[in-house]
Amino acid sequence: MDDARLTPEEYHVMREKGTEPPFSGKYVNEKSKGMYVCKSCGAELFSSETKYDSGTGWPSFYDIAKEGTVRLVPDESDGMERTEVVCAKCGAHLGHLFPDGPKEKTGKRYCINSCALDLKKETPLLRQAKKQGHS
Ligand code: FE
């Protein structure tokens, strides 16, 4: 997406590695099925199947939709040692990865800003998964 079409908040998060205030994003409590794609480039990032309520105030996922959709970057900003999550396709900042996800799943928590995401009902990956489920 053209940077000029990003809202100030989207620009701050995706281009300046900002973080939206907790419990402020539109997908924090979202329960609909679908695929969360990158707001900036449309890349398929996280399936609603892996979304869970972490209680942190940001949309949280225990896995990525497909190998290679995100890039993990060591991040020592703000006096913390964290792992930044970046869209592998366009480089947009998405959020951070923490090791306190659900233990019965992957143990990972992808803590992602709502404003970096767009929830889609139909995508190629979802169609593929549906097909495989019915074959
Ligand atoms: Fe992207």
The full set of domain ranges for the chain reads: 3-134
Closest CA to 13 of 107, 108, 105, 111: 111
What percentage of residues in the chain have a pLDDT greater than 70? 98
Find the 32 Cα to ligand 1 centroid distance in Å: 21
- pTM for the model stands at 0.94
> What whole-number distance in Å separates Cα of residue 36 and Cα of residue 49?
10
111 catalytic, yes or no?
yes
Which of 38, 87, 90, 111 does the annotation list as catalytic? 111
Q: Report residue 70's pLDDT band, with 50, 70 and 90 as the boundaries.
A: very high
Find the 103 Cα to ligand 1 centroid distance in Å: 28
Q: Do the Cβ atoms of 9 and 115 come closer than 8 Å? A: yes
Find the 60 Cα to ligand 1 centroid distance in Å: 18
Secondary structure class of 3 (helix, strand, coil): helix
Find the 2 Cα to ligand 1 centroid distance in Å: 12
Query: What pLDDT, on a 0 to 100 scale, did the predictor assign at position 63?
Result: 98
Q: Which of 20-24, 40-44, 115-119, 131-135 has the lowest mean pLDDT?
A: 131-135
Neighbours of 9 (CB within 10 A): 17
Asked if pLDDT for residue 44 goes beyond 60, the answer is: yes
Q: Can you tell me the mean pLDDT for 72-97? A: 96
Q: Report residue 4's pLDDT band, with 50, 70 and 90 as the boundaries.
A: confident
> What whole-number distance in Å separates Cα of residue 48 and Cα of residue 2?
27
Find the 44 Cα to ligand 1 centroid distance in Å: 8
Query: What pLDDT, on a 0 to 100 scale, did the predictor assign at position 17?
Result: 96
CATH of 3-134, one of 2.40.128.20, 3.90.550.10, 2.30.40.10, 2.170.150.20: 2.170.150.20
